[in-house]
Amino acid sequence: MTQRIVGIDVARGLAVLGMYGAHVGVTEPFDWSTPGTWLDVVNGRSSILFAVLAGVSIAIISGGRSVAAGPALRRSRVRVLVRAVLVFAIGLALVALDTRIAVILPVYAVLFVAAIPVLRWRPRWLFVAAGVAAVVGPVVAVLVDLTAGEGGPVVDLLFTGHYPAVIWIAFVLVGLGVGRLELASPSIGPRMLLAGVSLSVLGYGAGVAAESAVASSTTPVPLDVRLLATVEAHSGSPFEVVGSTGFALAVLALCLLAARPLRIPLYPVAAVGSMALSAYTAHVVIVWAIGDGAFTRADNGLYLAFVVGALVLCSLWARFLGRGPLERLLTGVSTRLAAPVGGRALR
Task: Give a yes or no: residue 103 inside a domain.
Answer: yes
> Mean pLDDT, to the nearest integer, of 243-255?
97
More reliable by pLDDT, 157 or 222: 157
Residues 279 and 285: their CA atoms lie apart, in Å, by 10
Note the pLDDT tens digit of each residue in 168-189.
999 999 999 999 999 888 899 9
Structural domain tally of the chain?
A: 1
Residues 322 and 263: their CA atoms lie apart, in Å, by 17
Quick one: what percent of the chain has pLDDT higher than 90? 77
Q: What is the pLDDT of residue 344?
A: 47
Task: Give a yes or no: residue 336 inside a domain.
Answer: no
Strand, helix or coil for residue 43: coil
Contacts 24+ apart (CB under 8 A), 263-267: 263/3, 263/6, 266/6, 266/10, 267/315
> 271: which residues sit within 8 A by CB, 6+ positions away?
9, 13, 311, 314, 315, 317, 318, 319
Average pLDDT over the chain, rounded to an integer = 92
Task: Give a yes or no: residue 251 inside a domain.
Answer: yes
Task: Give a yes or no: residue 6 inside a domain.
Answer: no
Q: What is the pLDDT of residue 3?
A: 42
Instruction: Decide if pLDDT at 343 tops 70.
Output: no
pTM of the model as a whole: 0.94
Q: What is the pLDDT of residue 347?
A: 39
> Mean pLDDT, to the nearest integer, of 105-125?
96
Q: What is the pLDDT of residue 342?
A: 59
61 and 80 in contact (C-beta within 8 Å)? yes
Q: What is the pLDDT of residue 116?
A: 96
Question: What pLDDT band is residue 27 in, cutting at 50, 70 and 90?
Answer: confident
Task: Give a yes or no: residue 11 inside a domain.
Answer: no
More reliable by pLDDT, 336 or 344: 336
> Mean pLDDT, to the nearest integer, of 295-322?
95
Q: What is the pLDDT of residue 2?
A: 42
Instruction: Decide if pLDDT at 231 tops 60.
Output: yes
> Cα angle vertex 8, ends 5, 14, to 5°?
140
H/E segment holding residue 101: none
21 and 46 in contact (C-beta within 8 Å)? yes
Residues 54 and 75: their CA atoms lie apart, in Å, by 18
Q: What is the pLDDT of residue 114?
A: 97
Strand, helix or coil for residue 51: helix
Instruction: Decide if pLDDT at 8 tops 90.
Output: yes
Task: Give a yes or no: residue 320 inside a domain.
Answer: no
Host domain of residue 134: 28-265
Nearest to 102 by CA among 139, 47, 150: 47
Task: Give a yes or no: residue 41 inside a domain.
Answer: yes
Task: Give a yes or no: residue 301 inside a domain.
Answer: no
Strand, helix or coil for residue 109: helix
